[in-house]
Structures are given as structure tokens and as C-alpha cells.
Amino acid sequence: MQATALYGLGLTTERLEEFAAAAGTGCRPVKTGLPAGERLDGAAVLAVSLDDDSLGEILARGAGICIEIGRLDVPDVAASVRMAQASSIFVSLTTASAYRLQLAQSIVHAIDGRCPLEQDRRFDMELALQEAISNAVIHGNLSVRSLQDPSLTSLERYSAEIAERLADPELANRQLKVNALVEESRIVIDVIDQGSGFVPKEPRVAVASGRGISLIGTLVSGWDLLDDGRRIQLRFDL
């Protein structure tokens, strides 16, 4: 989708112009803030930070691209904007935001607004996407190993490790990208992380977490791990 306009939240017009020029997509106009009461169909929105309300509003109003800047420099933002041109919906968040926001819910709601889904399909899509995002955030960008047993001590240690990794600015500002393509007969969603990669193994009975891939397989029409496990592609037939 060719971005039709570029809006910025918490950014100056000069900074937005810099991003637009680097992306080279020709999206115009370039404005700070969001237009009141107007659809954002096809627009790209760049934000210094996001919460659930702002992310939900941006996607529900039809924006095709939403990028949280975080520590991204101009070339990185421009590359994401160019990457998003082939998407129906493209969202890029910092790890910290992807961990705390209802990203899967917001994206599936936006997809449903463009291509109405049956209730069961919508539920499966949201659950599968949530599992994929959780894996990408926790095991990918934060590099936290799966919880090995369901004991309270292990759970406390697991939660503490996640909190410790999120407190590391380097890890917290890694990007998590979700790229959704809505086609006539199917929906394809890619979840992309910046971790070290992942090779799935058969889950052991004693392992208390790390079964997300198995669950995803029961909810989607097809899936693939790509880019050495840093990208999972989910496919849903309509």
C-alpha cells in the first residue's frame, strides 16, 4: 500500500520531512498530529511513543503504517516505511511497547474493519498472533528461555528475568514488526523480531512454556519460520 500521507505524534514537521525524504515514497502531506474526525486511509503514522488508545485509534481509523520511533535513526525508519509499502497493515513497536500493549487485538480489529471476519476466525487469528508476538518479544528480542517447570519458584524467576531484560535499554528498544497482507482469499501476517533466531524442537512434557508454536499450528491454515527463525509467517484462508 502506497502511503498517502505522513503524520507524526511528538515529532516536529522538520523531523517528519527528514523521514519522508529518506523514505522516498512521496507520501504527502506531512503533518504533525492527527487530523480530527478524518479517516487515515493509507496514511503512515510515526510516533515517539504509543499506548493502547493511540495505537488502536490509529489502526481503527485506517492508517496502513504505524511506527514507534524509539531509538531508530532516519535510515531505519525510512527502511521500515519502504518495507511497509507492500503491506495492508504494518506496525513496528519497541520491545517494551510490544510487551505491554494489546498489539494482536488492535491489528486483528483493524483487519476485521477492512475484511470482515467470522467470529471464530477472528478469535483464532488474534490468539495465534498473540502467541507469535509473545514468542518474538520474550524469546526473540529479550532472549529469555522457556519456562522449564510450572513451579512458583520457576515462575518467579522467569518473570524476574523478563523484567530485568526489559530494564535493559538496548533490549527494550529492539523493534518488533508485524506485517499483514489482506488478500481476496487469505490473510498473511508476518511477525519479525531482532533476536538471535529460533529452531523449533519437540516440546518436553515438563516444559511449562515454549509451546506457542504447537498452539499456533492448530489455529492457522499454514505457517513458516523464515529468516533463521526471526520471522514467523501465519496464513489464514478465508
pLDDT tens, the chain, 238 aa long: 666 789 999 999 999 999 989 988 767 789 999 999 899 998 999 999 999 999 999 999 999 999 999 999 999 999 999 999 889 999 999 999 999 999 999 999 999 999 999 999 999 999 999 999 999 999 999 999 988 788 999 999 999 999 999 999 999 999 999 999 999 999 999 999 999 987 766 544 434 444 578 899 999 999 999 999 999 999 999 9
Domain tally for the chain? 1
Q: How many C-beta atoms surround the C-beta of residue 227 within 10 A?
A: 12
Average pLDDT, the chain: 91
Q: What is the pTM of this model?
A: 0.93
- 1 domain-assigned: no
- 19 domain-assigned: yes
Pairing of β 30-32 and β 6-9:
parallel
CATH of the domain at 137: 3.30.565.10
- 70 domain-assigned: yes
Q: What pLDDT shows up at residue 189? A: 98
- 71 domain-assigned: yes
Q: What pLDDT shows up at residue 209? A: 46
Q: Give the model confidence (pLDDT) of 160-198 as tens digits.
A: 999 999 999 999 999 999 999 999 999 999 999 999 987
Note the residue count of the chain.
238
Q: Quote the domain boundaries for residue 177.
A: 6-237
Q: What pLDDT shows up at residue 202? A: 56
